[in-house]
Amino acid sequence: MIYAMLNLSDHIAKSIIQKLADSADIRINGNRPWDIQVKDERCYKRILYHQSLGLGESYMDRWFECERLDEFIIHILRARIEKNIREGWRKPFFSFQEILVGLKSLTRAFRVGEAHYDMGNEFFEKMLDRRMTYTCGYWKNAKILDDAQEAKLELVCKKLGIQPGMKVLDIGCGWGSFARYAAERYDVEVVGITVSKEQADLAKQLCKGLSVEIRLQDYRDLKGSFDRVVSLGMFEHVCHLNYRSYMKVVHQNLKKHGLFLLHTIGNNGETAGIDSWISKYIFPNSMLPYITHIGRAIDGLFIMEDWHNFGSDYDKTLMAWHHNFEASKDLWIEKHGDRFYRMWKYFLLICAGTFRARELQLWQIVLSKDGVPGGYPSFR
């Protein structure tokens, strides 16, 4: 039913939302943690007309409240509400629309850095672990965020078979957490690239004295020769139209017998697009790959040696980030205002619930350029 095309009355809009909520076992003005309390009845039309964008903006503007947004979104996802409205409900984190060819441009690649990562290092220093690792942790034997992130970095090094003296490329190096870890623990030389000036400046400080070079550079400008290539949480910012080009760049920069580890959020279906709320407020031009996207992109370039899914660990990581974020709540409201605070709270909790519902995955994929002699030894 295409509600957005109808000139609905307030009463009808409310009735439709009520029925959708009932189907998901969500009570409007109920007292359970996942129920919502409506503060402004304009939210009914806003959500129907604008789907995920309307939902997120209604929360940011205090048009509704919910004690447990993470559980709220799980109820929506499990009820498959997307069957009843045009778009956006199955994945409020990433409700896909068709993406434009224009997203291939180099200029747009730097927009992510400017809009998200360049907002200030203090924010991320307080929200993330001590190494400032802005990707999913590995919680197999960890109980706290710092340990989960170090376990992830160690897992990556083991999967890549990193040895002293190797030269490693880190595409999307963030604040240099992997580069610093690998240089300190494995005595390797690392080149890290990022499209965020704020990230690059701090990464250079954090990696000072180590065999680490941090560059403000787009991956398409890479020209080098590396024993290993790693990319942690950057592929989500690559347009699907660029997947093949991305893999060709990695292939060209990787030495014979080299290994490439791709760490990325993964989608359950083959769609291409961008979520309206995520694009507007968090990650402009982002999208998620599906298995077939990656398969087509590596065809004839790489051999898939290992594919590891630990998506449920992203739920724990996001909840840990949310805990840290809430600890500085007053600071964020003072510096950026209540709407900024609610935007990030919504983002972190909605994402956590989406991973908990297993609607999104976290993949670590190990690719070889020409096969590992005798076979690849998997690490978990």
Question: Catalytic site residues?
Answer: 351
Whole-angstrom Cα distance, residue 108 to residue 211?
Answer: 30
E strands of the chain, at which residues?
Answer: 36-38, 64-66, 167-171, 189-194, 212-216, 226-232, 254-267, 303-309, 360-368
Taking alpha carbons only, the member of 6, 95, 1 closest to residue 45 is: 6
Q: What is the DSSP string of 59-118?
A: HHTTSEEES-HHHHHHHHHHHTGGGTSSSSSS-SSS---PPPGGGG-HHHHHHHHHHTGG
Crossing angle of helices 243-253 and 291-298, rounded to 10°: 50
Structure tokens at 327: 């600890």
DSSP character for 256? E
Give the CA count within 13 Å in the CB-facing half-sphere of 2: 2
Structure tokens at 213: 């070079």
Q: Are strands 212-216 and 64-66 parallel, antiparallel or unpaired?
A: unpaired
Check: CB of residue 48 under 8 Å from CB of residue 8.
yes
Whole-angstrom Cα distance, residue 354 to residue 77?
Answer: 8
DSSP character for 28? B
